[in-house]
Structure 1
């Protein structure tokens, strides 16, 4: 699998979870409970997941979000994003430097970092990881995160045995040459090493199912694997070799698989300490629990209504604009999300530094404007049945497809049809499919209009989804100005040197998208998480709490362990 499978797996996660973004409430970037005493060691924290991990506990190969939850506590990356979405927090990398032309990166690793078995983490591990991903037999979804390295293409095609653009300077220093300079090189470069001494001698095609992946993983993070019981739980314990001395404070973390139906009761009675993917409908119930902290933040995801622009029915821009004006998206946020989210008018979530505030109020609910646009485009009700005919006077209707798996999204489908009925558009709501079948139908152009969502990374580069040639450009939107701006935002010297310049370019790009309406951006839900107040030192920001890299700071007072 290449990048496509990874992105589809992310959409699948999106369909199972309640993916959320801004309602104007800001994340609390401080820590919970620091004023209640100094951190102490000991104790166990139990976290919940609603589906069993697939058990691919190798960061180079996993695709499942539930595997990712476990991996983020057991494998460290080179660096992390700070609370301002800047990639500048050193983890395994002590420091790094890009050359002036942006084509060479020097990475210096910490000398005190060790694998869980006590072996040192070295430049060899990092090089081994990149060459594993570039190998012709690699089947994971991350080749696109090494393809910018010089020699990766040749290695991937079987024409080379090594990456020509990677040089080991010493045991803890690596130099990497890139084929092109880009503003988001660090964001896209794969940065989580796997242990060479564990996997050396194992064929790349066997790595995903190897014992070191499935049963006895050796990681680098603050916690190491203690017990893996498929379909039930994963027990992690403190890594005694962790480079931050005295940390982590906790003795154990347990990832427990529980039914979503009993999750709130389990949080209330102390069976679990953390709960994520909380529905807006459950917010007030949890907030009323005195021993539970609940917080929400803007999330990097959104739901949308897509149009197949290669379908003659949907080629008219004014028709698409009329549909955008005709859907009461604010009512969805107020009603279905209980206010825990926001209407979105662009690909950039509100939490992104690239968010274009000029589009904040684009396409407000305006049925009269929608009817006017339809009439201007030649869509008129000529037989008095309440529905418009097409510009040639023929009956006109549209079909809306949507997947199961996200209860709130499922409820939006009939609401959209009813809203569009009010402006004279007849919409047939198809029977929902399982998500995998829905995604396949969308990919193969077996739909006209459809509901789906995207989960995004902090870097706002929309390529992969929005370039005219991208395989995930499901609307088949071809726009030369859009392509030019997308590339300019990462490849122009001005954008590479200045994030504000990138923001200006993305502002122009979002306005091009807004004018042409290949999607109707619907809404973003907020990321809502809750945890027992006995757990102190919890940092909650744009990524929430359970996906924050500072898990090593969590602690529990002695009398509550």
Structure 2
């Protein structure tokens, strides 16, 4: 036993590793039995960060804005709302791809954007009306046909993306269209060139959320209509020269590396301030040095695990906000049936015993991880609804916190016993039991954090090994998840929920994003309650969200590990940029007040 204890990577050594990359630091930490890590690291309150630039100088003419996206992977370059899948492509779409609707601080749709939404609950009908002057970057007007076209893409049987789910099935006539029994969607009506009516089988409050039950985007039908839907994802208008109606358009794309943007002279909501924007992928290992040498005006996806190395850089201010995101552990419990667009839960899968999953959650001290790896910019996650959603987050839940004794008892009672006395538990059948763990590479923290998880699981007697023997590159990682690689039993990933907290799109039975492939009658019923018309009543909605969060905690098909805050370093020469969730499109107003960064 002494050799096994000394061989463990304790939280103390993991945290020392993480802090050494940030300039050092002293810490007390766990021993192999999983004691807590405390002291030695200053935490940071994201509420104290500004949310917008304070530079009041006038923007210069013909300014150029240099933007970095900190990433260790090349972006995929799926620059169409119907096809993009990850946060990196979404970052690159920011200056050019505008949504139809704006939203308030609670992410409710407002009518200040390119279109307005009217939801008639009694008639179960949504009416979308375009404003005058909304024009594509090639000079063609945005029309009702462009609002309807995304539904025809996503609902088509040859659609290659992953967004066809229950929100689309609720539209009258969508099932018939998807099954090839109808050439059009009977529930969608073009009233005139600017107005569309959509009839639903039922309506729910998510339809009032930005990015919720009503698709918030248009697609340029005049550009895409002659491309077969099965070929659309790989087509030039998606990957090389997208036509958009945001303040800028993508004028030059270097695949996987950078995008250059030029002003959209047809932009409907004012005149863009800049001559050019250049957005570039930059490795996380070199992003701080790039800032120190004043190469960029702002950095998206800035790693918070190295916050101490850039928190006081001359010439920059750090904006900060809560994220609509969380990190989580997911357990593979089945497969995706592509033909039926439905998850297939396997009650006999390796990780099917919820006691095993719960034990793995209680083995971890994510509160200490958040404090020590991320300077308090991340914290122990308690539920699957992040606290940024103040009206639906269950603030009473405590989540999974470190309790080694409880973890061991759960495994004992479930029948995972150490049969041969080597300190490692066998399976319920008495045979060798190995769990395959997949986690992504990238950044200073990925390896030591994953090592900590594996060794904490070892401390409760579980033999956990890396899928492929090492951490996995971002794109390969998600390819394996989507294709239900049998070498993944548990994985660590993160979700950006978007602006609608409804869990149907991530954990419902028809959601392709439901990577765990978990399904139960109770889970479906609880999600359906959230998605029902009864949830227009605020008290009912709150209760429905609370019950689902409590159920998800108990079943532990996914265990949230870290709530996340994000930091945006921004040059002091940048003007008129707000990072607030309820701000108008910041790319429409952003400028620079000097030719160079100082």
TM-score range for the pair, normalised by the shorter chain length: 0.7 to 0.9
Structure 1, residues 478-508: CA drift from partner, whole Å, max 9, x if none?
54332211101111x320x234432221111
Partner of 1:126: 147
The Cα shift of 1:291 comes to 0.5
CA distance in 2, matches of 1:294, 1:534: 13
Mapped contact 2:147–2:219 kept (Cα < 8 A)? yes
Unaligned residue ranges in structure 1 (runs of 5+): 1-21
Aligned partners of 1:123 and 1:170 also within 8 Å: yes
Structure 2 residue aligned with 1:188: 213
Q: Distance in 2 between matches of 1:550 and 1:377?
A: 53
Q: 1:485 and 1:364 mapped to 2: Cα distance?
A: 25
1:47 aligns to what? 67
- SS of 1:158's equivalent in the other structure is coil
1:272 aligns with 2:293: no
Aligned-partner Cα distance in 1 for 2:120–2:522: 30
Maintained 8 Å contact 1:298/1:542: no
> What residue in structure 1 maps to residue 170 of structure 2?
148
The total of aligned residue pairs comes to 530
CA shift for structure 1 position 341: 0.4
Which position in structure 2 is the counterpart of 1:522? 561
Equivalent-residue separation in structure 1 for 2:84 and 2:351 (angstroms): 38
1:23–1:342 Cα contact (<8 Å) kept: no
Task: Give the superposition deviation at 1:131.
Answer: 2.7
Q: 2:289 matched to 1:250?
A: no
Aligned runs of 1:72-471 on 2, under 5 Å? Answer: 72-88=94-110, 90-93=112-115, 95-101=116-122, 103-144=124-165, 146-185=168-207, 187-230=212-255, 232-245=257-270, 247-307=271-331, 310-311=347-348, 314=351, 316-353=353-390, 354-359=392-397, 361-377=398-414, 386=423, 394=430, 397-407=433-443, 408-428=445-465, 431-432=469-470, 434=472, 436=476, 440=480, 443-467=484-508
CA contact (8 A) 1:351 1:542 kept: no
Hey, what's the Cα distance between the residues in 2 that align with 1:560 and 1:85? 36
Q: Which moved more, 1:524-533 or 1:319-328?
A: 319-328
Q: 1:512 aligns with which of 551, 555, 564?
A: 551
The answer (yes or no) to whether the contact 2:506–2:514 under 8 Å persists in 1 is yes
Higher share in helix: 1
In the superposition, the TM-score normalised over structure 2's length comes to: 0.78
Q: 1:292 to 1:83 in 2, by over 3 A?
A: same
1:483 to 1:213, Cα distance in 2 relative to 1, 3 A: closer
CA RMSD of aligned residues (A): 3.4
Which one is further off, 446-455 or 176-185? 446-455
Q: TM-score, normalised by structure 1?
A: 0.83
CA distance in 1, matches of 2:511, 2:256: 36
Q: Which moved more, 1:219-228 or 1:502-511?
A: 219-228
Name 2:530's counterpart in structure 1: 489
Separation in 1, partners of 2:418, 2:157: 58
Contact 2:438 2:488 in 1 (8 A): no
Say if 2:579 is the partner of 1:540: yes
**Gap regions ≥5 residues in structure 2:** 1-42, 334-346
Separation of aligned partners in 2, 1:513 and 1:46: 42
How much has 1:513 moved relative to structure 2?
Answer: 1.9
Give the direction of change, closer, same or farther, for the CA distance of 1:319–1:57 in structure 2 (3 Å limit).
closer
Please say if residues 539 and 550 of structure 1, whose CA atoms lie closer than 8 Å, have aligned partners that are also in contact: yes
